[in-house]
Amino acid sequence: MKQKLIIVTTILFFSMVTFAQQALFGGAPIVSPEVKPDHTVTFRIQAPTADSVQITGDFLPPVKMKTQWGVMDVPGTANLNKDEKGIWTFTTQPLGSDLYSYTVIVDGFKTTDPNNVYIIRDVASVFNVFMVGGGKADLYMVNKVSHGSVTRRWYNSPGNGMQRRLTVYTPAGYETSKEKYPVLYLLHGAGGDEEAWIALGRASQILDNLIAQGKAKPMIVVMTNGNVIQEAAPGESNMGYYKPSFMIEHTMDGLFEETFPDVIKFVESNYQVKADKADRAIAGLSMGGYHSLHISRYYPNTFDYVGLFSAAIIPNEKVTSKVYENIDKTLETQMKNGYKLYWIGVGKTDFLYKNVTEYRDKLDKMGMKYVYRESEGGHTWTNWRVYLSEFAPLLFR
């Protein structure tokens, strides 16, 4: 089996080289994926000696899988058909407008599509991506509008005893403006880092397009690394290249929340921002939603806008931190201090749906007001990109 995998990998490698040479000298390379006007998408993989080729991706009907976090929806698979030239193909049904990810499985070996150079890392896996326009994905595309800037900045975090990196989006015109801007602190999920919202979430494209359309106020967006033992994303620190992990030391143990003022201090000392509660927002997905919940109540007079996207409101009895003490009391203080928006979104089939429902019941009993958004689907970037596109226009009004 090992020898066969080596052969398959070698074939795929030389196929890529061949296609590159064809393109260089005028040959016709294989196009994959090909997004057609009717929104069907055709995939093509050259693997003449393979016995089977499949594709798996979030555009296929999901299947249920039991995990340590409960039953979750995972992408299904589809079989490709082989022609006389050894090219395997598969064409989808018409797809809705969205950004999709996928991988290819050749004789049981999962790999990327050698004809698609667009690849994104998510934790320790890489996926090819493509977009189908004509709808919500138009908001994720680079359109002919004024563009903001995305920079990686290092800041001092005394609470963590290290220099750490974050990603900052500044809106178009920021560099020449004398204005002060409001700030959205946008947090990633477990296994992510300060690259997640830019790469997987398309945050800069979403903000560029919303601001250009006049639907969102120009704002600075600060994307942090919620893994406090990391200086920066895997491969971007002095730890060098290593395999990323989903749950690492100090994940969701209160230290990130406790030291978050280090981030705010850096931003308000280095950027043209309005340093007041009315001009600060915090939001995040999954673990980032958990962090947003606890940061906003632990510092209960700091943010006027809070967004919980599929928040991982999972109690952990093993964790002892002052951050998680007196939750109800600090929520009551947050409520009494006042805020402009407390926004909660979750998918109907999200494995965290029950936890979010229980948290909403708590807020209802307290009389704490919030806006609730329930969508189709589960714990996916498809939902989180939509949530950002709906949450951002509500800020700083």
Which residue ranges make up each domain of the chain?
Answer: 2-133, 140-394
Q: What is the pLDDT of residues 122-181, one digit of tens each?
A: 888 899 999 999 999 999 999 999 999 999 999 999 999 999 999 999 999 999 999 999
CATH of domain 2-133: 2.60.40.10
Give the separation between CA 356 and CA 142, rounded to whole angstroms.
Answer: 34
Task: Express as a percent the part of the chain with pLDDT over 90.
Answer: 80
What is the C-alpha separation between 396 and 316, in angstroms, rounded? 34
Is 140-394 the same fold as 2-133? Answer: no
User: Is residue 241 within 8 Å of 234, Cβ to Cβ?
Assistant: yes
pTM for the model: 0.90
Peptide bond into 48 cis (omega under 30): no
Q: What is the DSSP string of 337-349?
A: H--SEEEEEEETT
DSSP letter (8 states) at residue 200: T
Integer Cα distance of 278 and 8 in angstroms: 57
Per residue in 230-273, pLDDT (tens digit) is 999 999 988 888 888 877 888 889 999 999 999 999 999 999 99
For residue 397 the two structure tokens come to 């009004």
Integer distance in angstroms from the first to the last C-alpha of the chain?
A: 60
Give per-residue burial for 4-37: e unless 16+ CB within 10 Å, then b.
eeeebeebbeebbeebeeeeeeeeeebebbebee
HSE-up of residue 153 (Cα within 13 Å, Cβ side): 20
Tell me what the mean pLDDT of segment 200-215 comes to. 98
The Cα 344–Cα 285 span in angstroms is 10
CATH topology for 140-394 is Rossmann fold (3.40.50)
| Local confidence band at 314 (pLDDT 50, 70, 90 cut-offs) | confident
If you ran DSSP here, which 8-state letter would residue 241 be given?
Answer: S
